[in-house]
Structure 1
Amino acid sequence: MQHILVYSDSLSWGIVPMTRQRLQFDQRWPGVMEIALCASGCKSRVIEDCLNGRRTVWDDPFKPGRNGLVGLAQRIEMHSPLALVVLMLGTNDFQSMHAHNAWHASRGIAALVSAIRTAPVEPGMPVPPILVIAPPAIRTPKGSIAPKFTDGAAKCIGLAAAYRTVCDELGCHFFDAGEVVTSSNLDGVHLDLAQHLTLGHAVAGLVKPLLSIEGH
């Protein structure tokens, strides 16, 4: 049984667009991935550490605990040994209270990668490989979250390319979620049920050979 840590935000937590409800485990993309991997003979357990509003490395001025860098090393220590860490963050870096662009978010991802690789794991336990997933681009924000994501669509331009560059520099695996899904038509930010299913299967297909490679 191989353990995969998914470190993310509301897009992976499974918030139902335009509500405060949550999709079930087998509907959220990390759960879909776990089920697909196990069904293919790759026995895996996905550990979901997904917090609504989490940034890469910045604080939320209104809610505590949204800085993704704080406590990450201890989470790696806590859950080790890990076969893989999946990072899918960045969307909240573009909230209206931040003047960030894609480059800033990519530097945040680089800091998270460093924290994972320098975590104080027990002697002999592996430093886990890292898969960085660029979230789909923000579209026109709608509903109650619209003020929170004002100008987010412009700020996030170039995110996938910036993340790819960082992953090339740091030797991480990379996937652009925007190649297979878009942000919800309903709120312009999150993922609909069908998109969770699509993304979960796509990431499972990418992760399975990575686990096999790392396992040997």
Structure 2
Amino acid sequence: MQHILLYGDSLSWGIIPETRRRLPFDERWPGVMENALNAGGRRVRVIEDCLNGRRTVWDDPFKPGRKGLDGLAQRIEIHSPLALVIVMLGTNDFQSMQPHNAWHSAQGVGVLVNAIRQAPIEPEMPVPPILIVVPPSQETARGAIAPKFVGGERKCVGLAAACREVAITVGCDYFDAGTVATASPIDGVHLDADQHLRLGTALVEVVARLLP
């Protein structure tokens, strides 16, 4: 059994737009991907470590524990040995109380990659390969979350290109989720169930190629 750690936020947690409910595992993209990999002959388990509101390297001034860097090395230690780590973060770097742009967020992703590689795992355990998945671009936020994401659709412009440059620099793999999925028209930020299906399906081949 190969273990894949997914380090993400509410887009991967599977929040249903304009609610506080969660999609079932089989309907959110990590579950879609796991089921398809296993159906294809792999033996994999996706460990979901997805926290609503998680940023890359910044704190949330209103909710504690949302700085993605904090505790990341220990999570790698806890779950090792790992066949792959997937990092899908960035959306919350663009919340209205933060001034960050796409370049800043991509640099934050690079810091997370380095933290994963420097985690204090046991001597005989492998340093896992890392896949950066860039979340789809935000649209103008709607509904209850609109005040939280005012301006996010502007600040996130260029994130995919910036993350691609970081991936090249740090030497890890990269996938732009925006090539297959789009933000929900309901809230402009999260993913509807059909987009989870599209993303999970698209990642099957990418992840299979990276697994030992």
> Which residue in the other structure is 1:102 paired with?
102
Task: Measure the CA separation in 2 of the matches of 1:22 and 1:135.
Answer: 18
Give structure 1 regions of 4+ aligned residues with deviation exceeding 3 angstroms.
Answer: none
Query: 1:184 matched to which residue of 2?
Result: 184
Question: Is structure 2 residue 4 aligned with structure 1 residue 4?
Answer: yes
Aligned pairs for 1:1-216 (under 5 A) are: 1-211=1-211, 215=212
Query: Which consecutive unaligned segments of at least 5 residues does structure 2 have?
Result: none
Deviation at 1:73, TM superposition (A): 0.1
Q: Please report how far the alpha carbon of residue 87 of structure 1 lies from its aligned counterpart in structure 2 after TM superposition.
A: 0.2
Deviation string 1:6-30 (CA, Å, 9 cap, x unpaired) is: 0000000000001000000000100
Secondary structure of residue in 2 paired with 1:45: strand
Q: TM-score, normalised by structure 2?
A: 0.99
Q: Distance in 1 between matches of 2:31 and 2:49?
A: 12
Distance in 2 (alpha carbons) for counterparts of 1:107 and 1:180: 24
Q: Aligned residue pairs: how many?
A: 212
TM-score, scaled to structure 1:
0.98
Could you give the per-residue CA deviations for residues 48-97 of structure 1, whole angstroms, max 9, x where no partner exists? 00000000010000000000000000000000000000000000000000
Q: Distance in 2 between matches of 1:166 and 1:142?
A: 31
Q: CA deviation at 1:42?
A: 1.0
Q: Percent identity?
A: 68
CA-atom RMSD, angstroms?
0.4
Gaps of 5+ in 1: none
